[in-house]
C-alpha cells in the first residue's frame, strides 16, 4: 500500500514558476513508475508527465514540453514537478500517481493516487 501527499500548489501569475512535490509512504515507492495528472473544471483528467522508477524514461504532454520538468528522489520517496513559464491554461488540480505501465503512456491507469493540489495561474 502506498499513500501519496502532494504539496506546492498555489495562486501565481502567468510566467511564474511552481514546484509540486509528491511524498510517498511505503517501501515499494522506488520500484514504481510515477507521474502527474491534472484536471481543469469541466475537462477530462490528462496525463501531464511521467517518470520511470529509475528515472531512465520520461514523458511530457506536448503543451508542457520545455516548461515542466519531472524528477524523483527515491531516497526521499518523492516525485517532483517543476513548472516554469506557467500559463492560465495550466490552471487545474494536479494529482500525483504511481504504479502504472510506462508502455501504455499516456493512457495509463495508476494504482495509487494523491488527493490533488490546486494550481491557479492568473493572467
The rounded percent of the chain whose pLDDT value lies above 90 is: 95
DSSP 77: T
- Measured distance CA(115)–CA(123) in Å, rounded: 26
Q: Which tens digits make up the pLDDT trace of 5-34?
A: 999 999 999 999 999 999 999 778 899 999
HEC assignment per residue over 20-31: EEEEEECCCHHH
Amino acid at each position: 500500500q502506498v499513500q501519496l501527499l502532494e504539496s506546492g500548489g498555489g495562486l501565481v501569475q502567468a510566467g511564474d514558476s511552481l514546484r509540486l512535490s509528491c511524498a510517498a509512504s511505503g517501501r515499494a515507492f522506488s520500484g514504481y513508475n510515477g507521474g502527474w495528472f491534472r484536471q481543469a473544471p469541466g475537462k477530462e483528467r490528462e496525463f501531464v508527465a511521467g517518470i520511470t522508477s529509475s528515472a531512465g524514461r520520461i514523458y511530457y504532454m506536448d503543451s508542457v514540453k520545455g516548461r515542466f520538468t519531472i524528477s524523483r528522489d527515491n531516497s526521499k520517496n518523492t516525485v517532483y514537478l517543476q513548472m516554469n513559464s506557467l500559463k492560465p491554461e495550466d490552471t487545474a488540480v494536479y494529482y500525483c500517481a504511481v504504479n502504472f505501465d510506462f508502455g501504455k503512456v499516456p493512457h495509463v491507469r495508476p494504482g495509487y493516487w494523491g488527493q490533488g493540489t490546486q494550481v491557479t495561474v492568473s493572467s
